Chains A and B, each alone.
Chain A
């Protein structure tokens, strides 16, 4: 028992510190075009997008870009790696507390290799200098997302925040 408690405490600390909390993601593909989304593809997108946000939170909280390689590619990966690198240089961190995502699939390419989605994410974002919280926001943020297939998974290629209308 005395060994279990520190282990559980470590896990809680890890989860809290690195933002690897479970992320709730819902996907609506009713209006996707030009190709309908298969059930298996929906499941895969949900799984991979959820994991991408966990990786993003882990990377920006712990300033560790190695968490990004499996789930991001191209522009999204470059941008996040640059953010992590800048945070490392300046001693800054970003903590995401993720309250869930509503994904709407809008485009799924005829050949099944690329898709575009809109995400409405509910997030608490804490910006930290060392341990000091500089700024904290509860936001509902819309994202334009492009995901492409490769190596048996969907990777996020574009994750572009959109202005709130």
Chain B
């Protein structure tokens, strides 16, 4: 009886040892990088089915236990959480980190702004690796805004979770401003059209015309000397004993002109937007 029990224990021990020897195990990587090849060592013996689930990946293949499972850069091109599993139930989870910064996506708004305006141009840069994963490590992005012959405004901003942004003033000079976001050798350029701001020193003169009073402005510019664009509305007003007359005229070739009704005594004024120009007391000549 004793021998039978000893034999049973021995058999159980042998079976256990054999199972331990055959047990398959996956050793998942701890420092995988997106787009880089990795090997997953296995233990045990025999054939098994290997599975890999992750961002952009759903792999099923036959493997030999005891050999390394090779995963290519294509298998692991997306950053994130991957689950590796064997058909015998063994599994492991690992993370694939983004690789080094390689690409920048740049949003610049708005596309048209008035000159000399504070906090009006915003730029947002998203930093990606070569597989378009958002790079979460802080990365310096250079923003540069300037018009030709003007002094550019430059800022360097570190990304936070892959995003860097700036909010800038528009320059004094009108024109097509080049707004760039740069990451190493990668420059992304946007154009922001800077237009003249509100008119400055709006002045008009008046002279008799055939059937009324001809009023005409001097060339209309903003305070930085930029010509206010043609098409901008200028309002001329005449007030006399008979009442008020108003004419809206568009700037054409830098000046605005209009014909007001005939009057022997009137107060003439000019305005563009919120800017009021000079006044003229008209006495018939």
Chain A residues within 8 Å of B, Cβ to Cβ: 34, 75, 78-80, 82-83, 86-87, 89-92, 94, 106-107, 109-111, 113-114, 116, 118, 125, 127, 129, 134-135, 137, 141, 144, 146, 158, 160-163
Is B109 part of the contact surface with A, judged by Cβ < 8 Å?
yes
- Chain A residues whose C-beta falls within 8 Å of the C-beta of B163 in the assembled complex: 107, 116, 146
Q: Does B107 contact A (CB under 8 A)?
A: yes
Q: Is the interface of A mostly helix, strand, loop or mixed?
A: strand
B162: CB under 8 A from chain A? yes
B79 CB → nearest A CB, Å: 6
Q: Are A90 and B161 in contact (CB under 8 A)?
A: no
Chain B contacts to A: CB under 8 angstroms: 49, 51, 53, 55-60, 78-81, 83, 85, 87, 91, 93, 95, 97, 107, 109-110, 122, 124, 126, 128, 132-134, 136, 160-163, 165, 167
B59 CB, nearest partner CB in chain A, Å: 7
Give the residue of A83, A134, A160 whose beta carbon is less than 8 angstroms from that of B79: A160
Q: A31 CA to B60 CA in the complex, in Å?
A: 43
Given contacts A114-B107, A135-B51, A144-B136, contact A83 B161 (CB under 8 A): no
Which chain A residue lies CB-closest to B95?
A163
Q: Are B60 and A92 in contact (CB under 8 A)?
A: yes
Which residues of A have CB within 8 Å of B128?
A: 75
Among B59, B134, B167, chain A packs the most CB atoms within 10 A around the CB of B134
CA distance A91 to B110 in the complex (A): 48
The 3 A-B pairs at the shortest CB distance, nearest first, are namely A110-B122, A111-B109, A86-B58
Which residues on A sit within 8 Å (CB–CB) of B60? 90-92, 129
Contact B124 A114 (CB under 8 A): yes
The answer to whether A83 and B59 have CB atoms under 8 Å apart is no
Q: In the assembly, what is the distance between CA of A40 and CA of B53, in Å? A: 37
With A91-B60, A129-B60 in contact, do A137 and B80 touch (Cβ < 8 Å)?
Answer: no
Q: Which of B80, B107, B132, B134 contacts A111 (CB 8 A)?
A: B107
Is B161 in contact with A109, judged by CB distance below 8 angstroms? no
A87 to B95, CA, bound (A): 20
Q: Is the CB of B56 within 8 A of A79?
A: yes
| A70→B126 CA distance, assembly (Å) | 23
